[in-house]
Structures are given as C-alpha cells and as structure tokens.
Amino acid sequence: MSDSSPGLPLLGVQPDPVDRLILDEASELEGVDAPLAVVGDGTGALAVAAAERFELDTIRTFHDSVTDERASDEAVRASFRSLKAVRFGLEPALFDGVRLVLLRLPKSLAELDEVLRLVAAHAHPDVRVVAGGRIKHMSRGMNETLERSFASVSASLGRQKSRVLHASGPKPELRDAETGYPIVQNSDELGFAIASHGGAFAGPRLDLGTRELLAALRDVPADVLPEHGVGVDLGCGTGVLAVSLARLRPRFEVIASDRSWTAVASARETARLAGVEEQVEVRREDAGSSIESATVDVVLLNPPFHDRHEVVEDMAHPLFQQAARMLKPGGAMLTVFNSGLAHRAALERIVGPSTQIARGAKFTVVLSRRRD
C-alpha cells in the first residue's frame, strides 16, 4: 500500500497507518464541524492531513515535546495550503468549543486521563474523540480511561496493526469541572510537595534513581558543590532535583530544563509550592539548548533510557554532550543511571574524568568533571 491515501496531501512527512486510520474513522462521523484539535501528533503529518481532509485554514494543536512541536511547524510550512497551526499548552483554551479531537494515544494512562478530562470539561457537548495507536501499545486500561470521562466508548476494527477508540457524550458532572491535575503529593522524605501533570515521569513520587542521586549530592565535597554558583537540572521532570538543589544551596541560581510541556508545567508548580520559584528558572527546550556554554558549575542528570518498552543504550548521549558544553572547565556533573548501562565510559569520553561514587543493585551514581 502507498504511504498516501486518496484525499491526503503530499507531505515531506507522510501520515503513518495510525494517522490514516484516525482520519478515515473521523471522516465517517456525521455532524462534525470545526473547530478541531489535534493532540500528540509527533510529526505534524496528522495535523496537516486533517486540515486538508476537513478543509480547514486553522487547526489547534498540542505537542508535549518541543521537538515534536518543531517537526510539526516544519510540516505546516511545507504544506501546499495556507494553514495556521495555533499552539496551546494542555489547558482549557485548547479544547474550548471544539467539536472533534484527533488524538494519538499516549503511553501514560494518567496523561490520557488529563487530556480527556479537559475535553469533557471544555469542548462542545457534541464533541467526538477519535484516538488511535499501534495495537501492541494499546491496553484495556485506555478504554476504561475514556469511559471515566465519556458515556459512549467503542473500538474500531484493526487495520495495519493499528486501531482507533471512539468517545462521545462528555459526562455532565465533568462540565466546567477542575481536572484534578496537577496531582500534588507531599513527601516527608524530601520536605516538600511534588506536583505532577499526567504525563510526567514518576508522577508525584520520588523515583528510586533520583533518591540515589540526592543521597550522593548531600555528601559531595565543597569543591564539587560550592556555596554559590549556577546549577542545572537537565531533563528536570517534576523538578525534584532542581528544588532540592535550591534548598541545599540557597545562593545558587538553578535552571530546570526539559523538552516536555508536562514536565515543565509540573516543575514550575513544584518550585512554587516549595517557595523557591524565584530561585529556580524553568525552561522548555531541547537538552538545555538555551544555556550558554561554559557558564554552569553543576549539572544534575537522571537521564531517560527507555523508548516505550525498549532500553536504548545511547539515548542519554545527547544530554551528556550538552552538559559538557554548558559546564565550566572543572565543573561537576552528577549522573544516576541503571546499573546495567555502560554510561560511565560514555561520560568519561564525552564529559571528562568520571568516578563512581555510589552503586546499588539497580542504580549507579557517577561524578564527572569537565576537562579544562
């Protein structure tokens, strides 16, 4: 089968089987009209194809990842029609009055729940949700999550290893209601509360790797962690490391950086609740790209290593490279990672001399110093 279907535009990035199934299923609905919102479109192909299919000049989109947002911008610019993509955060305005939501199913049920609660609360009462994914990544829990916000939920037949879930009839009790996100949970161990939007890593809890890094951080010598300076929580998630560093070193300027809208919104709220919002600057960007070279004293990093269910050994290497770039000569980096990964050798090569300072059955903490 060709990568394009009748009625779809010719793009630099073509709609994949999930996109095509979402569009085909949405096209069969009756009484659907603008406005339309597209959520979770990683390439922009779905948004551009939807604009063509439904003859729209403007389309609302939400991308959690700033890199996905950039790819979508490129797809919109490359489209042959005059199309305006209006960017939103995961907020009521994204769905205000919307009659059709095209959704790439996220891997997190909490993220899906937050999106659906916003749709039920703020979209048009006749809104239809068409949510698609690869069958191998879908679960019964997704159906149940849709059923918490919508009266009618059904599944399409599978096609090309993909499937769509349909939802309609927002539950009346959710109309104009608060979504319950971010979730806030107090941590006696940390001494402050963690705020988490649905898609944030680890949710409102202290994950094991961060716990190991924090234990090591409290014991590092003064030449590693001076009384004042600039520190970066790279890939900050909910901001636990950034807030902990700010509380440990009140004279530090701390930057919490992440490419995820969900993470940045969570970290900003965590910092506010902890009373350090004036000390912690939260930035949404790819791998700390806005941070100037050779300006940082300390980088804290708990890097990702999973692409959905697969371990990717070198996923953290771009973060190591950016950390090396932003650190001052002699600056320090504390990295925690799964003990089965060969990250110490990569840190030695990319950043500088690296020493293992803690190791358990699951996690290893390594201290690296930037080469002069």
Which pLDDT value is given to residue 361?
Answer: 83
DSSP string, 174-189: GTT-----SEEEEETT
Residue environment code for 68-103, b if the CB has 16+ CB neighbours within 10 A, otherwise e:
bbebbeebbeebeeebebeebbbeeebbbebbbbbb
pLDDT digits (tens, 9 = 90+) for 20-69: 999 999 999 987 778 999 999 999 999 999 999 999 999 999 999 999 99
pLDDT bin (cut points 50, 70, 90) of residue 12 is low
pLDDT digits (tens, 9 = 90+) for 252-280: 999 999 999 999 999 999 999 999 999 99
pLDDT bin (cut points 50, 70, 90) of residue 124 is very high
Distance from the first to the final alpha carbon of the chain: 55
Q: Go through the domains of the chain in sequence order and give each one's CATH number.
A: 17-174 (3.40.50.150), 183-369 (3.40.50.150)
Q: Rounded to an integer, what distance in angstroms lies between the CA atom of residue 61 and that of residue 311? A: 30
The pTM of the whole model exceeds 0.85? yes
Q: Rounded to an integer, what distance in angstroms lies between the CA atom of residue 224 and that of residue 236? A: 20
Burial of 282 from C-beta contacts in 10 A (0-12 / 13-18 / 19+): buried
Decide: 235 and 207 in contact? Cβ < 8 Å.
no
pLDDT bin (cut points 50, 70, 90) of residue 299 is very high
Beta strands (DSSP E) in 79-159 are 84-87, 100-104, 128-134, 150-155
